Amino acid sequence: MDQKQFQKVVDKQTPKAPVFMNCLKAFIVGGIFCTVGQLITFFYMRFFPFTEKTAGNPTVATMIFIAMILTGTGLYKKISQFGGAGSAVPVTGFGNAVISASIEHKTEGYVLGVGGNMFKLAGSVIVFGVLSAFFVALVKTILVKLGVVSW
């Protein structure tokens, strides 16, 4: 049996992935996460002196915190098994990834295990986030100075 014949047998035996249902589940889970985020934004705007523009940062921090709590209790794993990419795309996926890495290495101790592995992922995200924010601000400043856009 050559490679092509073998691949035909494998393709015939492999069950087809339910792509439409997976997309629908991801859409629903991602939509629920985004709806919760919007409700949190409304909460900050209603009960604290935030505007629509300034409520974004505490909302993101709250969503990351909620994802970390859900990860610690094991609920995030169940949500991600159901919703797939819908749970990984929003900012909650970042919180889950940070805490998952630290939980995985807790047997190595709090400093080297939890702390060290938590910042393996978070450190690179923070560095690239700050670096990209710097370049975006630099480009915007240049465009404002040239009069292409207004501040």
Using one digit for the tens of pLDDT, what is the confidence trace for 2-46?
Answer: 898 898 888 888 888 899 999 999 999 999 999 999 999 999 999
What was the pLDDT predicted at 137? 93
pLDDT band at 101 (very low <50, low <70, confident <90, very high): confident
Scanning the chain, the segments in alpha helix (DSSP H) are: 3-13, 19-47, 56-73, 75-83, 85-88, 92-104, 116-146
Amino acid symbol at 15 = P
pTM for the full model?
Answer: 0.71
CA distance 121 to 101: 8
What was the pLDDT predicted at 99? 82
Using one digit for the tens of pLDDT, what is the confidence trace for 117-132?
Answer: 777 777 777 788 889 9
- Which residues lie below 8 Å from residue 36, measured CB to CB, with a gap of 6+? 63, 66
Do 29 and 86 contact (CB within 8 A), yes or no? Answer: yes
Q: How far is CA 36 from CA 32, 33, 52, in A?
A: 6, 5, 16
